[in-house]
Homo-oligomer: A and B are copies of this chain.
Amino acid sequence: MTNPPATQHSYPYQNQPIWSKSEKVIARTAFDAALGRELHEVIQEAKRMASQIQQSSDLWDLEHYLTQRRKEIDRKYDYRYSRLTHVFARLLYEKRLREEELHGLREDKLTPIRSFAKFLAEDAA
């Protein structure tokens, strides 16, 4: 007898889609790619800011920028299956992810992802 794995499936939410094994691979790949691009962007900006530091206020501006970006990235890249449709929606809306990168996910994920991305776009307009 084995215990069931302690995943999000142990406590299903209402309407919570189940992610298949192949979908999890697609999700992880897309997630990591977007995160990698965003980190690359922050690295480039930090190098640019550092190269232009002339006085102490520039130094603390760089610190503030890094702290803000770290907190934002920590909040945004939340790899829980219960959060993933919202995460991908935001990444699509921010153009940090192309919809092709989610190719292979089933409609029960793609529909809420597109729908929330559309909501974010309309909300910002």
Contact = CB atoms under 8 A, between A and B. Distances in A.
B50 A59 contact: no
Chain A contact patch, size range:
10 to 19
B56 A43 contact: yes
A104 to B, nearest CB: 27
Copies of chain A in the complex: 2
A70 B66 contact: no
A101 to B, nearest CB: 20
- What is the predominant secondary structure among interface residues of chain A facing chain B? helix
A7 interface: no
A60 B39 CA distance: 11
Interface in A29-83: 39, 42-43, 46-47, 49-51, 53, 55-56, 58-60, 62-63, 66-67, 70
B63 A67 contact: yes
Contact of A59 (B39, B51, B53, B60): B39
Contacts of A60: 66, 70
Contacts of A51: 47, 50-51
A102 B113 CA distance: 66
A63 B46 CA distance: 10
